[in-house]
């Protein structure tokens, strides 16, 4: 009999570990737009994208996905200079956030037609196009893009030559761009960047801690999460502008930092960002459904770095913001009847944004706290108010900066008076 006492103990222990590691949520089973089983957050097999360059010698046309943040799984030639690009998600079924990204060029200048065809999804994102290697981007317009009336696929028409033309669902933002951005930010004497964990594929999960010298015996702490969902770049960019305003040299920001520290995790899903995923991390899990059992290394790393705040008597957590994108700009606050500290902050903040930023059409849709998402974990752990901050995924780029900067300004004004009421 192979099962001696030692191996029996081993099996018992690993069973307990397995049960602990793979629990699923019992009450909440997903939002209407989630695929079934979304709260089952243990690892699963994903469909890997083969990195390759496909050439059509008869046309002299080349298409590649051999770079970070790309996604195109196959290319079929339909007619001369007319190709169907097959875009597949990393798992299926999956939320309809169909990311794509590729580069195309030709031996001789020519015009090509590219049809975006999806498995397990429908075309959603109007293409961004760069003719200069990603330095500048143009949103496609009616001269080079339309949707096929029958298939609803996206059809792109491009003049190409020997320099690659880059086409992407959103202006790409990989770990590369984040590194450059956070390198600059971390040059501030009061900002500390540290690695709190490692993704499935070994990419660092970064924390940015903003903490300026202060005479306050107890400082407030603001938590910021971002980019759990890889294609949601408008929300991610808005979040970066938001952080930049909190650390700026304005009088308001300096006053804010006397009272508050900021603990930010702007890029929580680095594997998904670099692999051009539609939704999940490298283990096929929607990270923003893993905030109950923390089966994934990315969510676990953030949770572990935050829990020590519970024991600190020189810090009091005040609020949490989780940046995302969707079909509209909308705040998802906690239901009014649920007691939070500060109480109803999100509603007051949203009202001020609506009054002061007339170009931004901000909606507010309250939710209960039963789902295993970052906002609800933050509320349940620290008793605080919190928001899921959704930015319309078609918001023009210049408006992202206005929204991020101005909503941060209003946020700081309100938070400063919150602090003075509560702590003084």
Residues 6+ apart with CB under 8 A from 294: 300, 303
Q: Quote the least distance from Cβ 160 to Zn ion, whole Å.
A: 33
Q: First and final CA of the chain: distance in angstroms?
A: 70
Q: Quote the least distance from Cβ 23 to Zn ion, whole Å.
A: 23
Given the complex with Zn ion, which of 164 and 230 has the nearer CB atom? 230
Closest CB to Zn ion belongs to which residue? 324
User: Helices (DSSP H) in 210-286: which residue ranges?
Assistant: 233-246, 251-259, 270-274
CA dihedral 366, 369, 372, 373 (to 10 degrees): 40
Given the complex with Zn ion, which of 49 and 325 has the nearer CB atom? 325
Q: Quote the least distance from Cβ 28 to Zn ion, whole Å.
A: 16
262 contacts 209 by C-beta, under 8 angstroms: yes
Residue 130: its H or E element? strand 128-130
Q: Quote the least distance from Cβ 238 to Zn ion, whole Å.
A: 13
313 contacts 218 by C-beta, under 8 angstroms: yes
Given the complex with Zn ion, which of 260 and 278 has the nearer CB atom? 278
Q: What is the rounded CA–CA span in Å between residue 297 and residue 50? A: 25
Given the complex with Zn ion, which of 59 and 232 has the nearer CB atom? 232
Q: Which of 338, 323, 335, 349 is nearest to 418 (CA)?
A: 349
Q: Quote the least distance from Cβ 402 to Zn ion, whole Å.
A: 21
Structure-block tokens of residue 65: 């996905």
Q: Quote the least distance from Cβ 239 to Zn ion, whole Å.
A: 12
Given the complex with Zn ion, which of 90 and 115 has the nearer CB atom? 90
Query: Residues interacting with Zn ion, by CB under 5 A?
Result: 229, 232, 324
Q: Which of 393, 369, 371, 268 is nearest to 26 (CA)?
A: 371
Q: Quote the least distance from Cβ 326 to Zn ion, whole Å.
A: 7
Given the complex with Zn ion, which of 32 and 50 has the nearer CB atom? 32
Q: Quote the least distance from Cβ 124 to Zn ion, whole Å.
A: 13
Q: What is the rounded CA–CA span in Å between residue 198 and residue 201? A: 8
322 contacts 373 by C-beta, under 8 angstroms: yes
Given the complex with Zn ion, which of 212 and 232 has the nearer CB atom? 232
Given the complex with Zn ion, which of 229 and 316 has the nearer CB atom? 229
CA distances from 65 to 75, 106, 245, 272, 274 (A): 11, 15, 35, 15, 12
Cα of 175 vs its chain's centroid, Å: 12
């Amino acid at each position: 009999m192979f099962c001696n006492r030692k191996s029996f103990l081993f099996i018992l222990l690993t069973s307990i570990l397995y049960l602990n590691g793979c629990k699923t949520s019992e009450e909440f089973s997903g939002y209407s737009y989630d695929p079934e089983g979304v709260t089952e957050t243990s690892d699963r097999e994903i469909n890997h994208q083969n990195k390759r360059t496909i050439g059509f010698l008869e046309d002299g046309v080349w298409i590649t996905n051999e770079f970070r943040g790309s996604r195109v799984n196959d290319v079929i030639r339909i007619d001369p200079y007319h190709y169907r690009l097959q875009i597949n998600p990393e798992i299926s079924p999956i939320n309809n956030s169909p990311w794509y990204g590729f580069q195309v060029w030709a031996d001789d200048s020519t015009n090509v037609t590219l049809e975006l065809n999806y498995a397990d999804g429908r075309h959603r994102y109007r293409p961004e196009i760069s003719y200069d290697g990603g330095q500048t981007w143009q949103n496609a317009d009616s001269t080079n893009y339309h949707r096929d009336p029958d298939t609803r696929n996206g059809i792109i028409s491009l003049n190409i030559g020997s320099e690659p033309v880059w086409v992407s669902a959103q202006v790409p933002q990989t770990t590369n761009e984040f590194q450059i951005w956070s390198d600059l930010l971390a040059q501030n004497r009061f900002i500390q960047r540290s690695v709190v964990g490692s993704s499935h594929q070994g990419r660092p999960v970064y924390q940015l801690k903003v903490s300026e010298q202060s005479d306050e015996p107890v400082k407030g702490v603001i938590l910021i999460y971002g980019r759990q969902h890889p294609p949601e770049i408008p929300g991610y960019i808005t979040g970066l502008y938001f952080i930049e305003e909190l650390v700026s040299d304005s009088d308001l920001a300096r006053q804010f930092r006397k009272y508050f520290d900021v603990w930010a995790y702007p890029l929580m899903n680095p594997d998904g960002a670099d692999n051009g995923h539609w939704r999940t991390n490298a283990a096929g899990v929607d990270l923003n459904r893993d905030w109950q059992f923390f089966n994934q290394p990315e969510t676990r790393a953030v949770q572990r770095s935050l829990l020590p705040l519970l024991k600190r008597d020189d810090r009091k957590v005040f609020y949490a913001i989780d940046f995302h994108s969707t079909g509209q700009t909308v705040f998802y606050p906690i239901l009014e009847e649920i007691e939070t500290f500060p109480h109803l902050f999100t509603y007051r903040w949203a009202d001020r944004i609506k009054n002061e930023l007339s170009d931004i059409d901000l909606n507010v849709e309250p939710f209960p706290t039963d789902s295993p998402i970052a906002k609800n974990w933050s509320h349940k752990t620290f008793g605080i108010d919190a928001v899921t901050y959704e930015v319309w995924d078609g918001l023009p780029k210049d408006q992202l900066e206005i929204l991020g900067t101005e909503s941060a300004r209003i946020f700081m004004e309100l938070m400063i008076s919150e602090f003075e009421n509560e702590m003084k």
